[in-house]
Amino acid sequence: MTFVINGPVSEDKPICSAKGCRADAVWVLAWNNPKLHTPERRKTWLACEEHREHLSQFLGVRGFLKDVVPLAEWEPPSGESPSGESAADR
């Protein structure tokens, strides 16, 4: 599984999507914007322990957050791979 965060990132070391953070990601935040995405579509951000709550709150207040899963347990929906978009791409 390869993660993309403003360019390719080694599958051995996915990093947090929080702006400016280079820490190892340990969480996957699955989300979608209902105004733009079909209900089954899942976009993903990756989070380190420090930024998991902040990124979850950011998505949650907007009604975008669908799931938070440990990175080791994440299985992308069939046909999709995690995008790991940067929080700066909001």
Mean of pLDDT values over 17-28: 96
Which pTM value belongs to this model?
A: 0.74
E strand segments, the chain = 3-4, 8-9, 27-31, 43-47, 65-70
Which pLDDT does position 5 carry in this prediction? 39
Residue 86, helix vs strand vs coil: coil
Mean of pLDDT values over 48-52: 97
Which ranges of the chain does DSSP label H, i.e. alpha helix?
49-61
**Between the CA of residue 29 and those of 23, 60, 68, what are the distances in Å?**
16, 10, 5
What is the rounded CA–CA span in Å between residue 73 and residue 85?
A: 19
Q: Which residue has the higher pLDDT, 38 or 78?
A: 38
The model's confidence at residue 13, banded by pLDDT at 50, 70 and 90, is confident
β-partners of residue 3 are 9
